[in-house]
Amino acid sequence: MLEIRNVTIRAGKFLVRDITLSVSALECHVIVGPTGSGKTLLLESVIGIRKPDSGSILLNGTELTALPMEKRHISYVPQDLALFPHLTVSENIGYSAKIKKIKNHGHEDFIADLAETVGIKHLMNRSVGHLSGGEKQRVALMRALAAGTTHLILDEPFSALHQGLRRELWFVLKELQRRYRMAILMVTHDIEEAFFLGDVISIMINGNIRQTGAGRVVYENPATRDVVEFFGIRNIFTFRIGSVTESFITGYCEELGGEIILPPNFPGSEKIQPGDTRTLGIRPENLVISKDDAVIEPGDNLVEGTVEGVFLKGASHILLFQPIGTSKVVELEMADCSFKRFSPVVGQQTTILLRAENFFACDR
């Protein structure tokens, strides 16, 4: 197991603060966050390029913090790949084994199997300078694994590739993880990539880990407003608590101009008091338009208003919506499947359905 314990790193005025996380055997742990959040600084401390100001880094219980990079037994693929342009593919891959003086038939068999898995067996004698971006990425992955280590560190490994090739290499990396029983610590700013590859995900923003957990749990229960905003969720509302009962939590939503009902087991409900203010979110796939034949359940929230604008946003649509009785126009994001089902148009009187159980707290 790779462990990072209470690591703090200072780089000029920027501070990566008190980071604690672990990467278990056979696990891919992805740190995802915006550019400039401190992800690379953390990786540089793990592999030995940068010494942390405080904290510890351990591998299977052994303290690594004071060890040089070459003695940490951790493989690393930097963002720029750092391949040797004057060497062939085979010479690049064999470099780490040459440095560590690994030379036996078992290792040769391992390299052959690795080349087959990564898909570059036919490129071994080619110059690195004549490879495509995707081929270079495969070479860099193979070179990192050629020394036989089972812990792999990846810094934005696929950021320079187009989306189709990146997705192809996601499957390659998952196969490497499974076949060679790898423990992987990776950073990326790409949310889709993080959720595809990560068995565990940590959200890093402005030098702090905001949330860690299984991908599905993190997605369904973002812990803070900045995590919600990093996910690109636009449906965020201010909710002032009115009453708390065994059946429901009720209150006033400023953006929607009316009362909203939440379930009694809403996250953080044990701390809620009348008069408190909370920030709520709801995902685009959970925002729908109510039709006359819709089945309305206890606790469903119906907000009537007028569609003032409609904008396409890839797999979703943005509605400019003015609730009845307010002068405010609120931006609501709706998944494409729901939008196509109801196809609201500008000027249409519309009822938005917000189910109580689909709200999540942004400020737990």
pLDDT digits (tens, 9 = 90+) for 243-298: 988 888 999 998 998 999 988 887 766 677 888 888 889 999 898 888 755 677 77
Tell me how crowded residue 45 is: count the other CB atoms within 10 A of its CB.
23
pLDDT of 108 higher than 90: no
Average pLDDT over residues 318-329: 92
Per-residue pLDDT at 171: 92
CB 28 within 8 Å of CB 180: no
pLDDT of 47 higher than 90: yes
**Whose CA is closest to 128, among 140, 145, 112?**
140
Cα separation, 188 vs 39, in Å, equals 8
**Least confidently predicted of 9-18, 93-102, 196-205, 279-288:** 93-102
CA angle (301 as vertex; 296, 303 as ends), nearest 5: 110
pLDDT of 105 higher than 60: no
Band (pLDDT 50/70/90 cuts) for residue 106 is low
**Whose CA is closest to 328, among 246, 237, 233, 244?**
237
**Least confidently predicted of 78-87, 96-105, 183-192, 208-217:** 96-105
Average pLDDT over residues 5-23: 95
Per-residue pLDDT at 147: 78
Write out the two tokens for 52: 């942390």
Per-residue pLDDT at 294: 64
pTM for this model (two decimals): 0.84
**Whose CA is closest to 329, among 245, 242, 256, 267?**
256
For the CA atoms of 278, 218, 336, 162, what is the dihedral angle to 10 degrees?
130
Close Cβ partners of 140 (under 8 Å, ≥ 6 residues apart): 77, 81, 82, 83, 157
pLDDT 10s digits, 344-354: 899 999 999 99
Cα separation, 75 vs 156, in Å, equals 15
Average pLDDT over residues 147-151: 84
Average pLDDT over residues 56-75: 91
DSSP letters, 323-357, are: ETT-S--EEEEEEHHHHHHH---TT-EEEEEEEGG
Tell me how crowded residue 163 is: count the other CB atoms within 10 A of its CB.
11
Cα separation, 267 vs 135, in Å, equals 46
Rg (CA), the chain: 25
Per-residue pLDDT at 207: 96
**Whose CA is closest to 18, among 188, 191, 209, 200?**
209
Per-residue pLDDT at 271: 74
**Whose CA is closest to 186, among 73, 83, 81, 78?**
78
Given the DSSP bridges, would you call strands 330-335 and 349-355 parallel, antiparallel or unpaired? unpaired
pLDDT, the chain, mean = 88
